[in-house]
Amino acid sequence: MSRPGPRSNQGDVPPDGFDAPEDDEPEAPALDDAAEIDFDFEPGAVAAGTEVIKRFWSTLPGSPGVYRMFDHKGDVLYVGKAKNLKARVGSYARGQAHSNRIARMISQTAAMEFVTTATETEALLLEANLIKQLKPRFNVLMRDDKSFPYILLTADGPAPQIVKHRGARRRKGNYYGPFASVWAVNRTVNALQRAFLLRTCSDSYYENRSRPCLLFQIKRCSGPCTGEISEADYAGLAENAKAFLSGKSNAVKDRMRESMQEASDAMEFERAARFRDRIAALSTIQGTQGVNTQGVEEADVFALDEQAGQFCIEVFFFRNHQNWGNRAYFPKADKSMSPDEVLASFISQFYDDKPAPRAVLVSHAIEDAELVAAALSSRVEYRVEIHQPQRGERKALVEYAQRNAKEALGRRLADTASQGKLLAALGQAFGLATPPRRIEVYDNSHISGTNAVGAMIVAGPTGFMKTHYRTFTIKSEELTPGDDFGMMREVLHRRFKRLVKEAPRTSREVATAAEDGAPEPVAEPDADGDVFPAWPDLVLIDGGKGQLEAARSTLEEVGVTDVALAGIAKGRDRDAGRETFFIPGKAPFKLPPRDPTLYFVQRLRDEAHRFAIGTHRAKRKRELVRNPLDEIAGIGPTRKRALLHHFGTVKAIQRAALEDLAQAPGVNAATARAVYDFFHANA
């Protein structure tokens, strides 16, 4: 079996022996799940996988590159990089003893793909990209890949705007960050507003103001929109803000103190008070940063802790001698891996979509630190240093981060243990043979049938699995507005029809279960035993007997009869604690008041309700602000902005003559005709 790829090499079994692996190459790739159970595999399967690797090995070059291993279904097992592809791949098939995880990976290998690169640095960068994109089972994986927020001071208009920014840096301006949380950004932006009186409003709001807004009245903005401050003076405020965020905070505060003293000497006490308040706002930013630094201007600190076969990496961000927050990560990695292996792989993926600072401080020595640093430096205009400090302030910062990593992992292990007890109690309460590993909860939200959405939330052994949440826009035009039963049928039909197609259960599993007299398994067991299943063990419906019956009949239509179903009916007067539970074939029942299992089910239902309501509100908000110009083919943001600037409102555009439309800046005759025809199609 072979798979198409950028450059694929395959051939016959080589007649000679295999090259030994290079000294600076790691001896084995890493498994991505901290599985507590070792699963047996047939020795013959390892031999078969070895033969597959031999066939590909024979035609490989001795150049740097990236290799990928695939199983018989075409799923990626592992992505690795090598300075010498021939030597590295040959190390998998030399016939020598492999660790259990490497043997398991080889036994599942059915095909390989290769991409050659010019340098090992390029191979490392490509490896990080592919790991984040493909999420191979046997690699170290970041569980939380959410982008970090930044502060943006725009430079594409007459009055710079200070805003929170997340995502690609397409807008012109100065970016400051990253911040560990949105809360930290919001707090800092609010303080900067008070200190520098910069605007936070959108460009359209700014350009259409005829009088100052409330922020000007409460001394949070200098009012550039209506000329309350000159462009030169406002530019001076923006420069002060830029200097403060760039690390020149003391110089900015000194200038403010001088201005305050001058105003006081001139007996302009109100002006002096404004400077006093602005200085206090800057002090608030500096005073709430937690641990600040004197000798470390710009650095990210990575500290790893390992407990009970699990890893936690705490990341602290230091910019301009200030601590801009921290975040804990819990990467998926095999418990037999060394901390430096986990840390090296994590750092490569961490900076895949963001620039690295000048200094990266680590708690464990990384074997390929120079290679990783060179790869990070190639993406920025300065040299990046990866260093394990041994003394001084840098060492203290790493120890501080490592202490936080240990505490965060301890809390997670405690939470996981509590979650396990709750899942076991829930399984017992609902008559399941084993504790559920995946619970799906469904709810609908709408207003008289408008903007109707369905929502699915997922819970598992580690709590709410938000990456598995799904929303469903109700599409059926035959439903009566407000038909909750019909909405639930549509949501479940779409969800399980797709699940049956994308993750079917194998006939071998069904036959084995029938012979043993056990119920048919609801999910195909994974080789690692610790991968979150695709199929739910329990489906909870927010509703009573009617909703449950609608759900049961819908699942039968798509051929699913072995997934446990339960309905949650609200109590009298919708009081929490009086819920009635419905299970097909059983009498309705209630859980005892103040039962932890009851509280757990309430949390699941409330989370589904929160998610459904939030999705519905977002959809309704988009509908309210939808612009008719968005529906016209060929009208993009630039032309839409030009039309609105020229005519003022959509109604004015709708009433405009064809000749007037053609006179708008940036609008040609074809565009003017398209706009005119759109609004006058039924005239």
The string of pLDDT tens digits covering residues 5-47 is: 333 343 333 334 344 334 333 333 333 333 333 444 565 677 7
Which CATH class, in words, describes the domain spanning 628-679?
A: mainly alpha
Helices (H) and strands (E) in the chain, counts: 21, 18
- CATH of segment(s) 298-411: 3.30.420.10
Flag whether pLDDT at 586 surpasses 70. Answer: yes
- Identical fold, 298-411 and 430-622: yes
* 231 burial type by CB count under 10 A (0-12 exposed, 13-18 middle, 19+ buried): exposed
If one compares 224 and 259, the residue with the highest pLDDT of the two is: 224
pLDDT, tens digit (0-9, with 9 covering 90-100), for 412-446:
888 888 888 899 999 999 989 999 999 999 998 88
Domain 430-622: which CATH number of 3.40.50.300, 3.30.420.340, 3.40.190.10, 3.10.270.10: 3.30.420.340
If one compares 666 and 520, the residue with the highest pLDDT of the two is 666
Q: What is the pLDDT of residues 461-501, one digit of tens each?
A: 888 888 899 999 888 777 777 788 888 999 999 999 999 98
Give 287 or 136, the one with higher predicted confidence: 136
Residue 367, both tokens: 């074997």
| Of 352, 353, 372, nearest in space to 364 by CA | 372
Quote the pLDDT of residue 505.
66
Which residues contact residue 183 at a Cβ distance below 8 angstroms, ignoring those fewer than 6 apart? none
- The pLDDT assigned to 515 comes to 39
- Say what the pLDDT of residue 566 is: 92
- Is residue 683 scored above 70 in pLDDT? no
**Domain spans in the chain, listed from the N-terminal domain onward:** 1-135, 150-287, 298-411, 430-622, 628-679
pLDDT: which is higher, 229 or 249: 229
- The confidence score (pLDDT) of residue 452 equals 85
User: What span, in angstroms and rounded, lies between the C-alpha atoms of 115 and 126?
Assistant: 9
User: Count of CB atoms within 10 A of residue 287's CB?
Assistant: 10
pLDDT bucket at 361, cuts 50 / 70 / 90: very high
pLDDT at 527: 34
pLDDT at 436: 93
Tokens of 151: 């502060």
The CATH topology of domain 1-135 is GIY-YIG endonuclease (3.40.1440)
What rounded mean pLDDT belongs to the chain?
79
- At 511 the pLDDT is 39
Query: Confidence class of residue 610 from pLDDT cuts 50, 70 and 90?
Result: very high
Question: For residues 555 and 563, is the Cβ–Cβ distance under 8 A?
Answer: yes
Q: What is the per-residue DSSP string for 258-321?
A: HHHHHHHHTT-HHHHHHHHHHHHHHHHHHHTSSS--SS-SEEEEEEEEEETTEEEEEEEEEETT
Query: Lowest mean pLDDT: which of 213-222, 478-487, 568-577?
Result: 568-577
- Convert the pLDDT of each residue in 613-670 to its tens digit: 988 888 887 776 666 777 777 777 778 778 877 777 777 888 888 888 888 888 888 8
At 573 the pLDDT is 57
Q: What is the pLDDT of residue 125?
A: 85
**% of the chain beyond a pLDDT of 70:** 83
β 111-116/162-165 pair status: unpaired
pLDDT band at residue 284 under the 50/70/90 scheme: low
Q: What is the pLDDT of residue 437?
A: 92
**Contact indicator for 155, 174 with CB cutoff of 8 Å:** yes
Q: How far is CA 661 from the centre of its chain?
A: 43
- If pLDDT is split at 50, 70 and 90, which confidence band does 349 have? confident
Residue 287 pLDDT > 70, yes or no?
Answer: no
* Section 524-546 average pLDDT: 73
Beta bridge partners, 464, equal 459
Give the 3-state secondary structure of residue 636.
coil
Please list, in sequence order, all residues whose beta carbon lies within 8 angstroms of the beta carbon of residue 179, skipping any fewer than 6 positions away: 148, 149, 150, 151, 185, 188, 317, 324, 325
- Predicted confidence at residue 503, as pLDDT, reads 82
For the chain, first and last CA: distance in Å? 62
Segment 341-368 shows an average pLDDT of 87
Average the pLDDT over each of 82-96, 192-206, 614-628 and give the range with the smallest value: 614-628
